[in-house]
Amino acid sequence: MKPPVGIVSGSGINLLPLLDAVHREIPFHEVPGLPDGGVKGHICAFVLGECAGRQVVIQSGRLHVYEGWTFEEVTRTVDVLAGFGVERMLFTNAVGGLHTTLQPGDLVAADAVRAWPCARFSLPGELAPGFVLDRCSAVGTYVWMHGPCYETRAEIAALQHWGAMTVGMSTAPELARCSQIGINAGMVSCVTNVCGVQGPPITHEHVMVTASRASEKLCTLLRNHIPEL
Ligand code: HPA
């Protein structure tokens, strides 16, 4: 039998409808050495089950560096997934759209990941071609920012000038850990806000609501891709 696929859901995103069968649910606090998550909208647990005839482990919720967790703490979830036998992973997250064609609710595949201005972990850079999901609204570079503040207009202009597609505050540490331990991983992001346009300041609540509305579309996309992994 093929090894299970690991799938990680980000802020507001509900991927549990992906499961045709649920076998087991393990909250983070039951896993020795794993800190319990604290960000609103993240119910932190691993849910083992089946999707499209494939064994999957869904990690619902995650830890962030901006919450004060170290790289080792944030990425321990990757080691837990590896412990379940996962060799391939798909990460999801909420992002700001930097490219002017993007709209809230769009799903974007990452083909490269960068950290700005820098990170204490080493990123894989480009993602493996089989892990760049097709059938998305766009494909491009995801830039990780430490957070927790959303970007200033000057930072957005710099990131756009750089040619980045999306910006967010998660996933890059986990991708770095995946590459350290030989797990191939892809990433698909839900655009919750368009960066650099006039309007009210972006809030975490807005991010959560928009990501939650895109969950169904994201589940369809992942369900189509899982058998290919
Ligand atoms: N910036 C960083 N992280 C985000 C954003 C953003 O605009 N939207 C959702 N997560």
Q: What is the mean pLDDT of each run of 10 residues along the chain (229 residues)?
A: 93 94 95 76 84 96 92 96 97 97 97 92 92 96 96 96 97 97 97 93 94 96 94
According to CATH, the superfamily of the domain at 5-228 is Nucleoside phosphorylase domain (3.40.50.1580)
Residue 42: what pLDDT? 55
Residue 10: what pLDDT? 86
Distance 180 CA to ligand 1 centre (A): 26
- Give yes or no for residue 226 CB within 6 A of ligand 1: no
Most informative mutation of 98, 153, 195, 202 for ligand 1 (most atoms within 8 A of CB) = 202
Distance 199 CA to ligand 1 centre (A): 15
C-alpha dist (Å) from residue 175 to 47, 76, 90, 127: 20, 12, 10, 9
Strands 88-97 and 166-168: antiparallel
- Give yes or no for residue 13 CB within 6 A of ligand 1: no
Comparing C-alpha atoms, which of 57, 135, 117, 49 is closest to residue 90?
57
